[in-house]
Structures are given as structure tokens and as C-alpha cells.
Amino acid sequence: MRLSCFGKNTDVVRDRYLALWGGNFALTVKEGCDHHPHSLANPKQIVDFMPANYTAGEEAEKAFQTAPKPGSIIRLAPSEW
């Protein structure tokens, strides 16, 4: 799926990441945010995505319950970031 509605840079980063390393990719879009701030008030979804998709065992299973699913696009309203 092309993400061109989010800008050409997002497409380039996603395509290169998948070509070089494969694996899983989820996108979080902060609605109404052009570029800054970079982080989220609660980065739990980002933190959980990593062990849920790149480790195994109990830690991965627990993180998978709350992590964004691979290929998902999460849209956050300004009040959520």
C-alpha cells in the first residue's frame, strides 16, 4: 500500500526499510502535526511494537496484545499526542 497521502518522505522511508530489513512496519500519524513534536506523550504503542514483532516468548506475547499490528496506520488526534 502506498502512503502518498502522508508525503513522499514516508513512502521512501517505508520502502527502504522493508527492502533492506523486511520485517514489520506500522505508521502513526499525528493529525494536525506537520513535523514537531517528534514524540508521543505516551509512547507505549511504539515501545510495545518492538518486542511484539522482533522477539519471542512471554515478553513478545504480552506486548503483542497492545502493540499496533503490522501494516496498520494509527491516526492520533492532537489531544492524543
Residues near 11 by beta carbon (within 8 Å), at least 6 away in sequence: 2, 3, 4
CA 36 → CA 3, 7, 30, 31, 39, distances in Å? 20, 15, 10, 12, 8
Residue 53 contacts residue 67 (beta carbons within 8 Å): yes
Predicted local confidence at residue 7, as pLDDT: 65
Q: Which is more confidently placed, 77 or 5?
A: 77
- Gap between the Cα atoms of 67 and 61, Å rounded: 10
Q: What percent of the chain has pLDDT over 90?
A: 0
Residue 70 contacts residue 45 (beta carbons within 8 Å): no
Whether residue 1 has pLDDT greater than 70: no
pLDDT tens, residue by residue, 23-55: 778 888 888 887 677 788 888 888 888 888 888
Predicted local confidence at residue 43, as pLDDT: 87
Can you tell me the mean pLDDT for 56-61? 88
